[in-house]
Structure 1
Amino acid sequence: MNDRVPPLPPPDGTRSSVGRVPDTPNRVQSPILPPDLSDEDVVARWLRAKATGRGRLSPTTLEQYRTEAERLFWYARQTGATVSSWTMDEFASYLAFLQAPASWAIRRPGVRRGSSDWRPFLKPLSDRSAGQTQKIVTSLFDWMRDVGYLQLNPATGMPTVGRRQPEKQARFLAPDDTALIREVIAARPELSREARLAKARDLFAVDLFERTGLRTTEAVRCVMGHVRIETVSPELRREFPDAPPFQWLLRVERGKGGKARWVPCDEIALSLQAYRMAYGLPPVPAPDETLPLLLSLRRTRFGNWKGLRSRTTVWNLITGLCAEALVYARAHLRRVDAERFEAASTHWLRHSYAKGLATAVGNGLDARAALENMGHADMRTFNQYVDDEPMKRALATSHARRNAR
C-alpha cells in the first residue's frame, strides 16, 4: 500500500463485510480482484490506483478523495446499508444528506480523525462542495463497475447537486493593477546585490503568472530547461505570415490531472533573460538545465542557486508584491482598489491571463487553443472568464439600445 494512502479505518475496529455473501444482486465477484474483499478493501485499491502512474492525483487532491471515501463509509454504517448494496434510492438519500446532515453528524471543532467523537461534517456542504463530493463518489462507483465489482453504477443519471452556471470570474487583476506592481518593483533602490536579484526575479514572477497563466504548483515544478525556443516551420509561416522566425514555449510536465502541455511564452522572454543575467546565468536556458524556474536569493552550500520549491513560498511572494504595491499607491496618492490588492494572489494572475485569452477568443483565437493554454478540460470552466465585467456589459447594452431607436 502506498504510504500516502493509508487503509481506510474499519467500522468499529472490525472488518464486518469481509467474506460476506453479497446482499444485493448488483455486487458480483470481480474476475480481476481477489475474492472475499470488503468494500473498504476495494476502495483502498481505488485510492492506491489514484496515487500511482503518470496521471496520479496530487497529494492534496488525493487527500480529498480519501476524505470522501471516509465520509461515504461513515454514512453507510449509520444507515446499515453497505456501499456495494446501494441502489439509486440510497445514493439519492446520500446526496440529500450531504446538504442537510442531521445534527448528530456535525462534529465539534478540534475533534481529530480517529476519535470516537469524529464526524464527517463541520457544517452542511455548499452546493459547490456537495457537487464535488458527488463527482468523486460517482467516479468511485464507475471504477467499481469497471473492475467487475458492481454490475451497475447506482449514481448513473443522477442530476448534479446544485447545478447552476458558475458565476463570472471576478478574481483577477486588471492590466493597470499589474502595471502598478511592475512600477513598484522597478522603483526599488538597488542598494545591494540581493536587492538587484530580487528586482529581476520579482518582475519575472509577475510576468510568468500573468502572461502564461500557470498554476502555482506548475510553476514550482518547472525548471529552466522546460523553456524552449522552437523554429517556426515554413508551413506555419505561410499560415501566419507575420510570425517571427522563432517561438518561445514553456513545457508544463505535469499539470492538473497529470496532463502535460506546452504554453506559449514569447511575452516573458525579455524578463526571463534579464532575470537570468542578473543571476549570472546565460540569457537563454539550456535544454538540459535543471535549475528551478523560480529562484531563491540564496545559494546552497555547494554554490548552486536554490529554488522556490513550495506553493506557500510562491504565494507569499506574490501576495507580498501586492501588499507592497498597495503601500506604494497610498504613499503616492494613487487611487487603487485596496480590497482587490489585499485579496489578490498567484491564482488571480492566472485569472488575468484567462481573461485576456477570453478576449482573444472573441477576436478569433480558437477556443480549443485557449483551453489548452489554461490546462482546462471543460469549456464551461473557461466560460467563467468571458464577459466578467457587468458594468461594461451594461454600458454596451445601453449604447446598442440607444443606437437601435
Structure 2
Amino acid sequence: MSARDTSPIRREGGGAGGVSRPAPAAPANRQESPVLPPGLTDEEIVARWLTAKATGRGRLATTTLAQYRIEAERLFWYARQTDVPISAWTLDDFAGFIAFLQAPAPWAMRARAVRRGSPDWRPFLGPLTDRSAGQTQKIVTSLFEWLRDVGYLKINPAVGLPTVGRRAQGKQGRFVPPDLCALLCEAIDSRADDTRQEQLLKARDRFLVELFSRTGLRTTEAVKCRMQHIEIHRVSGALRREFPDAPEFQWLLHVESGKGGKERWVPCNEIALSLQAYRLAFGLPPVPAPDEALPLVLSARRTRFGQWKGVRHRQAIWDVITGLRDEAIAYARATGRDVDEKELKQFAGASTHWLRHSYAKGLAEALKHGLDARSALENMGHADQRTFNQYVDDEPLKRALATHLARERATR
C-alpha cells in the first residue's frame, strides 16, 4: 500500500474478528457528527482524517503522511487489544496507551522478518524512545482534536494530559564535512569509465553528491524535480548595483512542492558545471530546455521508447548515496588517505540527509559573512528559525578553542 493511501486502516488480529464496530449504545463521549455521514466506524472516520491531511495546499508530505498512518495503526491495534474503541476512550485509556508505547509487553512486539498480513504482525519492533513516544502523542492528540472539531467526539480524551511541546533541538552533528565531501567526489573520479554504463553512472553519481551537498534538497524533492525546474536568470542592473560582485547570470532550482507543499527557489550556481557534465554524458544539451520534462535524477537505463528513465523512489537515491559512502571509505583505506579514523567511523553512518545538513552548515557559516537569516531559512525550506539553529556552532571542539583563546587573551 502506498504512503499516500488513505483507505480505511488495516484490521489485522484483535478481538471481534479484528474489526471495530460502532458500539450498540453510543459511548458517552461519542455523538453524531453534523459534517460526516452517519453510521461510520472509527476506522472509516480516521481514514477521512488521513484523507483530509493529504488534501490541499498545506497537505502533509508523503513521508509524514506515512508516519501518520503508522500511528493510526498502532492506535487501533492497541484499541482492539483492550477491547475499547477509541470513540469510548477516557483520559485513563489515553494515558494507558502512551505508557504502553514506552513499555510494550513482549507479546506486542514482532520480529523484523514478519511482514504485513501475517497473523504475527504487530505495529511495534520494540519500546519507543521518549522522543518517538512524544511524537506519537502529538499526532494522536491532533487526531482526537480533529474528531472533536468535526463533532464526532464531545471532548478530546487527551485534554487532561500535559502537552508535548517542541524541545529545543540539539546541535546537528550528522553532516559530511568538506574534506569528506571532497573524498566522495575523488572516489567517483577515480573509477574506471571504459564502458558506456560506467561513464553514465560516474557523471550521474558525481552530480548527485554536488546536488545534495550544494543545494540542500530533500531526497523526495530531488525525485520530484524535472530538468525544466532549473532556470538561468540574467542579473539585472539594479541587482548588480546592490550586489557589485554578482555574476552575470544566476542559476535557480525551482522546488514546486517541498515539505508541507511549500514552494521555494534554491540558488544552484555551484552545481552548474557538474550538471552540464552530467547532461553531456547522457547525450543531452548542457543547459536544460524550459519545457524539458526529463527527471532531474536519471537512471542509466532507457524506456522502451528510447527516453532516459528517472530514479523514481527516494529509497533508490538513498541506496546510491550510501553506496557512494562505502565506496569512498574503501577508497580512502586502499589509497592510504590520511583521514581521522573517528571521523571515518562517523562517516560510515552518513546518508543522503547528511549532505543536506552539510549545506545547512555552510549556510550557517555564511550568516557570519552577510547572508540574512530569512534567506537561509528559505534556501532550506524551513519555516522556523529554531530548526535552523541546530546548524549554528555545532562543533564543541571549535567552541572550546574559541573560548579558551579568548579567555587567555583577556587575562594577558
**What TM-score results when the alignment is normalised by the length of structure 2?**
0.86
Bigger mean CA deviation after superposition, 190-199 or 138-147: 190-199
Offset of residue 219 of structure 1: 1.1
Q: Residue 351 of structure 2 corresponds to which residue in structure 1?
A: 345
Q: CA deviation at 1:361?
A: 2.8
Superposed, which structure 2 residues align to 1:302-313 within 5 Å? 302-313=305-316
User: Match of 1:224?
Assistant: 227
Query: Per-residue displacement from partner, 1:133-152 (whole Å, max 9, x unpaired)?
Result: 11211221222233222344
Partner Cα separation in structure 1 for residue 129 and residue 345 of structure 2: 25
Distance in 2, matches of 1:235 and 1:151, equals: 59
Q: Once the two structures are superposed, what CA deviation does each residue of 1:264-285 show, in whole Å capped at 9, x if it has no partner?
A: 1111112112222232222211
Q: How many percent of aligned residue pairs carry the same amino acid?
A: 67
**Residues 61, 187 of structure 1: CA spacing in aligned structure 2 closer, same or farther, 3 A cutoff?**
same
In structure 2, the residue matched to 1:393 is 399
How far the C-alpha of 1:224 sits from its partner, in A, is 0.4
Counterparts of residues 42-61 of structure 1 (less than 5 Å): 42-53=45-56, 55-57=58-60, 59-61=62-64
Match of 1:331 in 2: 334
Q: CA RMSD in A?
A: 2.9
Amino acid across the alignment from 2:332: A
Who is 1:12 aligned against? Answer: 16
> For residues 41-61 of structure 1, what are the alpha-carbon distances to aligned partners after superposition, in whole Å with 9 as ceiling and x for unaligned?
211211233344455445544
- What amino acid maps onto 1:340 in structure 2? Q
Question: SS state of the match for residue 400, structure 2?
Answer: helix
User: 1:32 Cα deviation (Å)?
Assistant: 1.0
Structure 2 equivalent of residue 276 of structure 1: 279
Q: 1:124 Cα shift?
A: 1.4
How far does the alpha carbon of each residue in 1:280-327 deviate from its partner, in whole angstroms, 9 at most, with x for none? 222211111011112223333322222222223322322232222223
Deviations 1:129-179 (Å, cap 9, x if unpaired)? 112211211221222233222344333474455974433222211111111
Amino acid at match of 1:94: F
Q: State the partner residue of 2:294.
A: 291
Contact 2:30 2:88 in 1 (8 A): yes
- Decide whether aligned partners of structure 1 residues 404 and 90 sit closer, same or farther in structure 2, where only a CA change above 3 A counts: farther
Give the C-alpha shift of residue 260 in structure 1. 2.4
Query: Is 2:99 the counterpart of 1:74?
Result: no
Residue 86 of structure 2 aligns with which residue? 83
The number of equivalent residue pairs is: 404
Aligned amino acid, residue 368 of structure 1: R
What CA distance in whole angstroms lies between the structure 1 residues aligned with 2:120 and 2:335? Answer: 55
Unaligned ranges ≥5, structure 2 = none
- Contact 1:20–1:36, Cα closer than 8 Å, also in 2: no
**CA separation in 1, counterparts of 2:10 and 2:275?**
49
Q: Residue type of the partner of 2:16?
A: D
1:7 corresponds to which letter in structure 2?
P
Superposition deviation, residue 394 in structure 1? 1.3
Structure 2 letter corresponding to 1:310: H
Residue ranges of structure 1 left out of the alignment (5+ in a row): none
C-alpha deviation, 1:356, in angstroms: 0.9
Deviation readout 1:357-389 (Å, 9 max, x if unpaired): 122234443323222222223333322222221
Match of residue 40, structure 1, among 27, 32, 43: 43
Contact 1:5 1:48 (8 Å CA) reproduced = yes
CA distance in 1: counterparts of 2:112 and 2:189, whole angstroms = 46
1:214 offset after TM fit, Å?
1.0
Q: Which moved more, 1:124-133 or 1:43-52?
A: 43-52
Contact 1:297-1:306 within 8 A present in 2 as well: yes
| Aligned partners of 2:20 and 2:80 also within 8 Å | no
* Distance 1:74-1:379 versus aligned 2 partners, 3 A rule: same
1:266 aligns to what? 269
Bigger CA drift: 214-223 or 162-171? 162-171
Which shifted more, 185-194 or 384-393?
Answer: 185-194
**Structure 1 residues 130 and 296 mapped into 2: Cα distance closer, same or farther (>3 Å)?**
same
Q: What code does the residue aligned with 1:355 have?
A: K
Change (3 A) 1:47 1:356: same
CA shift in 2, pair 1:66/1:328, >3 Å = closer
| CA 1:303–1:274: 2 relative to 1, 3 Å | same
The answer on 1:366 being equivalent to 2:369 is: no
Cα distance in 1 between the residues matched to 2:200 and 2:110: 49
Per-residue deviation, residues 322-348 of structure 1 (Å, max 9, x unmatched): 222223222322122432343222111
In 2 relative to 1, CA 202–117 (structure 1 residues): closer, same or farther, beyond 3 Å? closer
Relative to the length of structure 1, the TM-score reads 0.88
Which residue, 186, 189, 194 being the options, matches 2:189? 186
Displacement after TM superposition at 1:20 (Å): 4.4
SS of the residue corresponding to residue 385 of structure 1 reads: coil
Q: Does 1:123 align with 2:130?
A: no
Other-structure match for 1:154: 157
State the 1:79 CA deviation: 4.1
